[in-house]
Chain A
């Protein structure tokens, strides 16, 4: 049973465009939602994270939008650049558990 569902599986965006990746979760006990970025041949690295008491968090060109009632959250990459080409994973965590549950991943390609 996939507790965090991520879509799309792959995404191609033109340079300068907006990349949007969506995730949905089932367990209402989750209370922390990070996004990880992974470049080829590397391990994932934390990109940005949000708690459900806010609806949006922005760091530079990266924004998380969170809809608690719908149990959905999304990553928006503004002015997408070729250097953003990577695999992105959403994840969820229940406080105190220290165990992340990951989505399936999205391979993002930014065409120059």
Chain B
């Protein structure tokens, strides 16, 4: 049981390049999330998904796109990377429920855009 995994762990991009971050969970969770973590800013929600085939915008969605074609995977795409997207990206997942369910986080992807 690996929990939430993220690939890659590190990546360096040049401005204007594109890339996709992959998140996978093996806990059969309905909800999945993408956050970015910046010093002094905490974790900010980029996009999230409440089920396969559905996505929604979070707090800071500009410059990112997501897809949830399979329940266990949640992809985050950067079409044209900018230095402002240098950050550590975390994926998380949680069960569906009427009350709060714990979010389980992956180990993160450190992205640098030059």
Contacts and interface: CB of A to CB of B under 8 A. Distances in A.
A98 interface: yes
Contacts, number: 54
Interface residues of A, number: 23
A34 to B, nearest CB: 8
A41 B110 CA distance: 10
Nearest to B96: A98
Interface string B74-114: 00000000000000001010100011111111111000000
Interface in A54-112: 89, 93, 95-96, 98-100, 102-105
Interface of B: 4, 31, 33, 40-45, 48, 50, 58, 90, 92, 94, 98-108
Given A41-B107, A43-B107, A99 B45 contact: yes
Secondary structure type dominating chain A contacts: loop
B105 A43 contact: yes
Given A99-B45, A100-B45, 20 more contacts: A4-B42, A6-B42, A32-B99, A32-B100, A41-B108, A42-B107, A43-B105, A89-B42, A95-B99, A95-B100, A96-B98, A98-B31, A98-B48, A99-B48, A100-B103, A102-B42, A103-B42, A104-B41, A104-B42, A105-B40
Interface of A: 4, 6, 9, 32, 34, 41-46, 49, 89, 93, 95-96, 98-100, 102-105
